[in-house]
Amino acid sequence: MKKILVLSDIHANYPALMAIQNHVQRETFHRIVNTGDFTVYGTYPNEVVQWFRERGNAICIVGNTDKRVLEILTGKELEKPKREEKRIMYFWTCENLLPENVRYLNSLPEQQGFTAGGLRIGLFHGDFDGLGNPLWPDSPESLFREWAAKFSYQVHVMGHIHVPFHRIVDGVHFLNPGSAGRPFDGDPRSSFAILTVSSGKITVEHFRIPYSVEEVTSGLKKNGLPDIYGEMYRTGRKLN
């Protein structure tokens, strides 16, 4: 039996990551996966990246916020997002991210696959075609089939939309653990999943657990960052 801890979209929310660690501390995981967006919108990017760097069983990819941070650090002009309160969060991250953590993010691919229990598992952040078409819980089956046909995976793990779901189409599993650090579905609790592969059978469990939102909002206030982000963490909603 292989157990996999599935995380995504932590967004520099180390208190949420620590809450997850405490919740699963008695479990033994074959792999810990993160489908990207380590950074931006919280004030703990270094702690989050370092946590994964210290785990030899972690398999990670970069997300869109991570890629934008890396682009800014190479001197590329930030075209998106347009809203000033969002841009501030990117620039703050760039100013505070340690060089060793920049190097780590630069080393990560945008997609990655691995094998567990004889099954191939693929990691993606958002869309697979670069056209901005991520999978949602209610996406048409044709889109799931198109995604499955492009890759030879029995399990597709993805993030980006900050909404958890598990859907099976033509025997292929599609799993989104939701956002560990910045939920958008109205539930402010941290979201993650555990994927178990045993004798060729796949089981998915979703979890929602509380964490210290006050610790996150205090970090934002201490660093003079926009108040709207504190409200988003408290409500579990995307407000901008």
pLDDT (tens digit per residue) in 192-220: 999 999 988 999 999 999 999 999 999 99
Residue 239 is predicted with a pLDDT of 81
Q: How many domains, the chain?
A: 1
Query: Quick one: which of 116, 73, 119, 67 has its CA closest to 96?
Result: 73
Gap between the Cα atoms of 81 and 84, Å rounded: 8
Domain presence at residue 128: no
Q: What CATH number is associated with residue 82? A: 3.60.21.10
Structure tokens at 215: 């610790």
pLDDT at 130: 61
DSSP strand pairing (112-116 vs 119-123): antiparallel
Residue 166 maps to a domain: no
Residue 211 lies in a domain: yes
Asked whether residue 142 is assigned to any structural domain, the reply reads no
Angle at which helix 45-53 crosses helix 84-96, to 10 degrees, equals: 50
3-state secondary structure at position 102: helix
Average pLDDT over every residue of 138-154: 93
Report how far apart, in Å, the C-alpha atoms of 112 and of each of 47, 73, 129 are. Answer: 23, 24, 15
CA–CA gap between residue 56 and residue 120 (Å, rounded): 20
H-only helix segments in 7-133: 14-23, 45-53, 64-73, 84-96, 99-107
181 has pLDDT over 60: yes
Query: pLDDT at position 132, please?
Result: 67
Residue for token pair 């006050």: 214
Residue 170 gets the label, from left (phi > 0), alpha (psi -120 to 50) or beta, of left
Host domain of residue 54: 2-109+179-235
**pLDDT, tens digit, 9 for 90 and up, residues 53-75:** 999 999 999 999 999 999 999 99
The H-or-E segment that residue 202 falls in is strand 201-209
Measure Cα distances from 145 to 166, 167, 219 in Å.
15, 12, 43
Q: Which residues 6+ apart lie within 8 Å of 131 measured at CB?
A: none
Asked if pLDDT for residue 129 goes beyond 70, the answer is no
What's the mean pLDDT when you consider all of the chain? Answer: 95
Nearest of 227, 210, 211, 208 to residue 219 by alpha carbon: 227
Q: Evaluate whether residue 41 is within a structural domain.
A: yes
CB 228 within 8 A of CB 181: no
Domain-located, residue 169? no
pLDDT at 20 over 60: yes
Is residue 125 one of the residues assigned to a domain? no
**233 contacts: CB under 8 Å, gap ≥ 6:** 13, 182, 188, 213, 216, 217
| 158 belongs to a structural domain | no
pLDDT bracket for residue 114 (50, 70, 90)? very high
